[in-house]
Amino acid sequence: MSRVIRFRYWDPVVKHMFLSTEFSWPTQDQVLARFFDKASLYAEGSVMQWSGLTLPNGQDIYEGDILNTKVARWEVVFEQGIFLARVVWSGVFGTDYVVPLREIVDNAIPLGNRYEHPHLLVDNIPQALKDSSP
């Protein structure tokens, strides 16, 4: 059984998110090798892995993504071998609250990611939760 592995890379110099799917090679191993060759050129950037999960709107979920649900704003993190959703802001949970990412996917709305939209981690959180709840 093989699982598709995808990554994305934030280049802080050109302020662009590169996806491993942007490289076309005959095998997945060659795609990933080319992707990491590119990513290794920039020591300041960040590599994020695809969680293997997709939102109801069809969008893939990667580390660093910011999601909203009715009760909280979440950041996707990968810790101790599992993808988790960590609370960024909530009127219900504290910011130390984490759940397995699978638990919120069906009710989540994508807002962006921590690199292209860092303001999502701090700006207008209570109003934004109200405006984008499913």
Query: Could you read off the pLDDT of 33-81 as tens digits, one per residue?
Result: 666 666 666 557 788 888 999 998 899 999 999 999 999 999 999 998 9
Locate all alpha helices (DSSP H) within 6-124, ordered by sequence: 28-39
The one-letter amino acid at 65? D
Supply the pTM of this predicted model: 0.76
Strands 109-113, 98-100: pairing kind: unpaired
Tokens at 69, concatenated = 């649900």
For the segment 95-118, what is each residue's pLDDT rounded down to a tens digit?
789 999 999 999 999 999 999 999
pLDDT at 1: 44
Domain covering 7-132, topology: SH3 type barrels. (2.30.30)
Q: How far apart are the first and last CA of the chain?
A: 35
pLDDT at 123: 56
